Amino acid sequence: MTQSKPSFASQTSVPATYMRGGTSKGTFFKLSDLPVRCQVAGESRDNFLLRVIGSPDPYGKQIDGLGNGSSSTSKTVILSPSEKSDHDVNYLFGQVNIAKPMIDWAGNCGNLTAAVGACAINMGLVAADKIANSIHENADSGICEVRIWQENIGKTIIAHVPVYKDVNDKVQVQETGDFELDGVTFPAAEVKIEFIDPVDSSSDMFPTNNLVDDFDVSGCGLKADRVKATFISAGIPTIFMRAEDLGFTGTELQSDINSNDELLTKLEKIRARGGVAMGLFKDESEAQTSQHIPKIAWVGKSQSYTASSGKPVEASEIDLVVRAMSMGQLHHAMMGTAAVAIAAAATTQGTLVNEAAGGGQSEKQLDEVRFGHPSGTLLVGGKTEQVDGRWQAKKVSMSRSARRIMVGAVFVPADAF
C-alpha cells in the first residue's frame, strides 16, 4: 500500500537571534543561515520574514509570530560580512507592516543599530583578532569599534561595543551594566553610536533648499491652510512642525494620540503631503506603500511633564520636547533614526528644531541637545556645516544599549515562502 504524502506543510527551522536594541526589538538573521531562495531580495524573502513576525495580522497582535503588535517590535535584520575592506558587517533592515503584507526596506532603524555591533560579534562576523585587540594588555575590558555598512541607506555607522574577558580569558560582549535608557525598563551596558556623514554630499540635507518652509496643509484638517515646517533628510526623512500648529503641546503620550482615529487620519494626510513636498512621492497616494518614510514629528519649547512611566521630566532638564509618529502611531519613546534627524536639525541654526531648543536666542552654535520624549529624555549630538552653499551633517552621535533576549531557531511553515 502506497503511503500518501501529508496534506499539511512541514516547518522550516532557521537560526535566529532575538535582540533589544535601544527602545526596539527585532529578529536578527545571518544571511547565510536563511533558506537559499531567501538569501536574495524578493518575494520569497519578504514572505518568509512576514511569517516570522506574524504579519499581516488583521487583529493587530501578531500572535502567530515574533512581533508584539507595535512598530517598535515588528522589525527584522539581516547581517552579512562586509565586502568593503574598511567595514566589518553589512546591516540590512526591514520594517514589517503589522496589518498589511508589506515590508519597507526604504530606511534604517537607529534603535536596532545599537544591537548590530554586538550581534555581529556574537555571530562571528567580526574578525577575532580585532575583537581580541580591543582589550589592551593588562586590562579586563575595552571597547570594540564595529564599522557597520547600513545597506538600506548606503551609510557608515560606528558602534562602540563594550567587551570584557570572561573567566577563561575569552572576549565577550558586555550586555549588562548601569546605563539607563528612558523607554527601557532595565539598565544595561552603554553602546555609543556614531552616524558618519548621514547625508550624501551630493544630496540636500534640506530637500526643499530651505531651513523652514511655508507648508501647504489645506484640506488636512488644521485650522490654518499653511504652517511652518522643516523638511530634513538625515538619519531618515522627517517633517518637523511646531506642536502648537497641530493643536498639540508637545507633551503628548501614546494614549493621547493612538486611540484617536480622527487625529491619526489628520497626521497621515499631513505626512503624505510632506512626502510629496520632499520629493519622496509623486503624489500622496504613494504614501500608502511607504509608511516607514517620511516620519512626522512635532517640537515645542522645554516644559515639564510626566513621562509614560510616571517619571517626572522637568523643563530645566531638557532643551526641547519632541514627539514623533512611526508607522501610523505615536512612538512610545523616539526612533533612533528620528533622533539623528533631531540632532542634525537642532544643531543647524534656523530650523524649527533649533528654534525650539533656544538656538535662535543666541549666536552660539548648539552641538548637542537633550530632548524630552514620551518615555523620558535623550541626549544627542551633531555637527553640521555649509559646504558650497549646501548644508551637510558630518556626524551625529547618541548612546543606546542592547541585549540578547533569545538565541535559537525560528520555525516557519514551509509553504509560507
Candidates 19, 144, 278, 335; catalytic one: 335
The owner of cell 593588562 is: 138
**Cα torsion for 82, 88, 89, 90, to the nearest 10°?**
-50
Residue 343 · residue 381 · CB < 8 Å: yes
**Do residues 242 and 228 touch, judged by C-beta distance below 8 A?**
yes
38 given a catalytic annotation: no
CB atoms within 10 A of CB 228: 15
For 60, the enclosing helix (H) or strand (E) is none
Which residues are CB-contacts of 395 (< 8 A; sequence separation ≥ 6)?
Answer: 194, 195, 196, 197, 198, 382, 383
Say which amino acid occupies 333.
A
> Are 379 and 317 in contact, with CB atoms under 8 Å apart?
no
Element (H, E) at 215: strand 213-216
Query: 380: Cβ–Cβ under 8 A, 6 or more apart, which residues?
Result: 339, 340, 342, 343, 346, 368, 369, 370, 371, 396, 397, 398
Strands 295-301 and 236-242: parallel
Cβ–Cβ under 8 Å, residues 347 and 121: no
- Separation CA 141–CA 159 (nearest Å): 16
Q: How far apart are CA 20 and CA 184, in angstroms?
A: 9
Stated length of the chain: 417
Spatial distance between the Cα atoms of 322 and 89, rounded to a whole number of angstroms: 32
Contact status, residue 41 vs residue 103, Cβ threshold 8 Å = no
Helix (H) or strand (E) holding 344: helix 336-346
CB 294 within 8 A of CB 278: yes
Per the annotation, the verdict on 327 as an active-site residue is: no
DSSP, residue by residue, 158-191? EEEEEEEE-TTS-EEE----SB--TT-SS-B-EE
Q: Pick the catalytic residue: 19, 109, 205, 241? A: 109
Catalytic residues, which ones? 109, 335
